[in-house]
Amino acid sequence: ETGVTQTPRHLVMGMTNKKSLKCEQHLGHNAMYWYKQSAKKPLELMFVYNFKEQTENNSVPSRFSPECPNSSHLFLHLHTLQPEDSALYLCASSNRDWSIYEQYFGPGTRLTVT
């Protein structure tokens, strides 16, 4: 497997459920990101991790809880979500040592909250 992978690709969950999104990067990068893309809106940065440490939390509600156990893996734990949280969730990674701007994205998880 190469690049950035995300599982699951599609997820339907009720408002009382707890689920997790997983991201794995095989590029040797040291920074990882979670983005949210809602319909007709730009990609919104949610969280940034540099060398496993969270360096950015873009005012994200606490029902979204990120976890970065190592530089290759990133999780987004979801609980008691709202229907307006339905969106495409994208993971990305980059290498701070040469170009933090050129972020490499996974295919995304399409989340539907019912």
Partner 1 sequence: DQQVKQNSPSLSVQEGRISILNCDYTNSMFDYFLWYKKYPAEGPTFLISISSIKDKNEDGRFTVFLNKSAKHLSLHIVPSQPGDSAVYFCAASGAIGNEKLTFGTGTRLTIIP
Q: Which is nearer to partner 1, 73 or 79 (CB)?
A: 73
CB of 96 to partner 1, least distance (A): 7
Q: Which is nearer to partner 1, 52 or 79 (CB)?
A: 52
CB of 7 to partner 1, least distance (A): 13
- d(CA 25, CA 109) in angstroms, rounded, equals 15
CB of 113 to partner 1, least distance (A): 20
Q: Which is nearer to partner 1, 58 or 114 (CB)?
A: 58
Using CB under 8 A as the criterion, which residues of the chain lie in contact with partner 1 when the complex forms? Answer: 4, 6, 31, 33, 40-43, 45, 48, 50, 55-56, 58, 90, 92, 94, 96, 100-108
Distances (CA, A) of 10 to 13, 54, 74: 10, 26, 17
As a whole number of angstroms, the longest Cα–Cα distance in the chain is 42
DSSP 22-56: EEEE-S--SEEEEEEE-TTS--EEEEEEETTEEEE
CB of 78 to partner 1, least distance (A): 19
Q: Which is nearer to partner 1, 50 or 80 (CB)?
A: 50
3-state helix, strand, coil in the chain (%, to 5): 5, 60, 35
